[in-house]
Structure 1
């Protein structure tokens, strides 16, 4: 995992965060990775990119497992954690909540408002993310097409898009004000075509998706590390086949 230089937002460089030690961001450009890169950019926090090439098995290396025992990125190490001592955190939702508490940004302090953000964050973590991931797998990567599985997960993602579309009626953002819930959800809508969905069927979601995509910090967070990827998992190459073998059908070790 080759380190990249600290990458704070140009506009967000302040006297305070210039003095702050950069957060180490263990990352690969995927919907889960984008959540954290977008949050760091939105908050203007300095960070050092530490790529975790999941197609090459970096997530199984001993050093990374000490930070993220579930062998999944993203993860962070904040050298200025609670008590000004280092802390490592894995799971994208936990990272978003931590950064929200740390900065006081995009995560309400009011308990009622925070509960609203939390429920939509967990809606993504427990619903949209896993179901969209299964749709990707059976539509794009499964060695054999299984019509039942394709329909099952495509339909479930469609249902979830419908839930989100209704929630966004009359709102600019998922809970009314921009929050970590929006950051968590947006990246999982980016590959909507691979999920078999049409944004035109969900007009409120479509407007929100486009509105999110115009935010400068979202653009920067989304672009982070895209140059590191070579091809896709669905490619008919030896490299893609090797990556699929690493990523899919893992068992306990």
Structure 2
């Protein structure tokens, strides 16, 4: 069984898409990032960067103790390697996929995430126009990278659908909110529509954390303040005493 410590964000949905494509059993363990579950000691033991997703494989290949993996790119590599699918075995194919997994982790996810963050910064935090323009432009550039990559091949790593596609897709699902015109990127648009039509992608994108929806306005002022203090402007956590 794969335990998926999860919240339904693009990073979480990368993992559920692959699990649905692999058609293997998994269990969702909710990590409510809005209220700060990711800072709890139990979660930090498997994800020391206090970010979800993370997995625990209770039945690793070859037996032995459960294996915990954090960071979505590492999770996809682990699961694809374990199941022998969606990640080529030959060295050329393997690193064709791996470099696009790294591209997503280092570029698409962070830059698109910063675009979303600075678009939501309240006015009392000062002028955000440079940051908004910077990350909007970078997001647009990254769609161009994908579009240019896909003009002569069906998938990011070549002829075969792989974890390179699965890891990138969730961050493009909100293209409209990101200010992207799909008609400007016709090769990307074809790829996006192809993936959107896959039943396993649809199932993976639809996975929830299984918790009731929460209206932020229903929270007390004290709880709202607690969450803001917990989630924003984080600094280093002190190491435990020896």
Verify same fold: TM over 0.5: yes
What is the SS of the residue equivalent to 2:176? helix
Task: Give how far 1:237 is off.
Answer: 6.9
What is the SS of the residue equivalent to 2:187? helix
CA distance in 1, matches of 2:217, 2:12: 25
Q: Which of residues 228, 231, 234 is equivalent to 1:247? A: 231
Q: Which residue of 2 aligns with 1:146?
A: 128
Q: Which of residues 215, 225, 238 is equivalent to 2:208? A: 225
TM-score (norm 1): 0.84
Q: Contact (CA 8 Å) 2:81, 2:87: kept in 1 or not?
A: yes
RMSD of aligned residue pairs (Cα, Å):
2.1
Q: Which residue of 2 aligns with 1:157?
A: 139
The one-character-per-residue Cα deviations of 1:191-233 (angstroms, maximum 9, x if unpaired) are: 223322222211111111111111111111100006647369x
Q: Which residue of 2 aligns with 1:99?
A: 79
CA distance in 1, matches of 2:229, 2:179: 24
Q: Which of residues 186, 194, 200 is equivalent to 1:211? A: 194
Q: Which of residues 178, 183, 189 is equivalent to 2:161? A: 178
How many residue pairs get matched?
Answer: 230
The one-character-per-residue Cα deviations of 1:60-97 (angstroms, maximum 9, x if unpaired) are: 11111111111100000001224312100000000000
Structure 2 residue ranges without an equivalent (≥5): 238-242
What is the SS of the residue equivalent to 2:177? helix
The one-character-per-residue Cα deviations of 1:71-124 (angstroms, maximum 9, x if unpaired) are: 100000001224312100000000000011100010000110011001111110
CA distance in 2, matches of 1:133, 1:155: 13
Q: Contact (CA 8 Å) 1:165, 1:202: kept in 2 or not?
A: yes
TM-score (norm 2): 0.88
Structure 1 residue ranges without an equivalent (≥5): 1-21
Q: Which residue of 2 aligns with 1:37?
A: 16
Task: Give how far 1:174 is off.
Answer: 1.1
Q: Contact (CA 8 Å) 1:57, 1:246: kept in 2 or not?
A: yes
1:48 paired to 2:31: no
What is the SS of the residue equivalent to 1:195? coil
Q: Which residue of 2 aligns with 1:122?
A: 102
Q: Contact (CA 8 Å) 1:139, 1:195: kept in 2 or not?
A: no
